[in-house]
Amino acid sequence: MKPIFIAGPCVIESQELLECVAETLLSLNSRHDIDIIFKSSFDKANRTSATSFRGPGIDKGLRMLDDVKQKYGLRILTDIHESWQAAPAGEVADVLQIPAFLCRQTDLLKAAASTGRVINIKKAQFLSGADMRYPVEKALDAGASEVWLTERGNCFGYNNLVVDFRNIPDMLDIVPRVIMDCTHSVQRPGAGGGKTIGDRRFVPQMALAAKAFGATGFFFEVHPIPDEALSDGPNILYLDQLDAVITQLLKS
């Protein structure tokens, strides 16, 4: 199975940022002959603080993502947080993502399934890989055409995550496509005094370890200047480092 690479900025900041990232991804797609999906969020509804930047909202955000899709020919992934968002998001996105904390929300899964789009369900930080069979069953029972699962770590006490890579083969027993979220898995949730921090140094190692455990896809949030990103900067990979990480993964 050809590996999938999902990459893009955490949140939509500007059209200029989306196009900068899309141009790089399109180049990498051709150079490595891989399957890259562009990702970004129109609304980060789960920010730690009410004062944190959330994005442009669903109407403007989806128009911006559609512009990227039409101009660069890249498939689009975006996340939804409420059931009513599924239908409009599904008109633009090829893959609808269910956030980890919402992965057991039955109505959200049903709404996503009703669009006919691929559904990528992130494993909750409080669940095992084996537990993810139940969200998958909900989505398939509601008519989902294809379901993926994504590993993004488990809570390890307060303000920390740890990845149990055994979850990857456990989830491969449920679905054929399991993605490793290589950037959110290095987060320190809420550890930054009202915001989440992280350590991007470990992103390449997360990817390589996940491949060793059988991951069939890799998820990276990227930004030209991560320290200036409006969301998740400390754990975002530098855009110009993505090529080297992909090269290393393909060679390993």
pLDDT of residue 210: 99
Give the pLDDT of residue 82. 98
What is the pTM for the complete model shown? 0.95
Q: CA 190 → CA 63, 118, 160, 231, 232, distances in Å? A: 31, 31, 9, 13, 11
Mean pLDDT by 10 residues, the chain (252 residues): 94 98 97 95 84 91 98 98 99 99 98 99 98 99 98 94 98 99 90 79 97 98 95 92 98 89
The CATH class, in words, for 4-251 is: alpha beta
pLDDT for residue 189: 79
* Per-residue pLDDT, 2: 85
Residue 245 backbone phi and psi in degrees, to 5: -65, -45
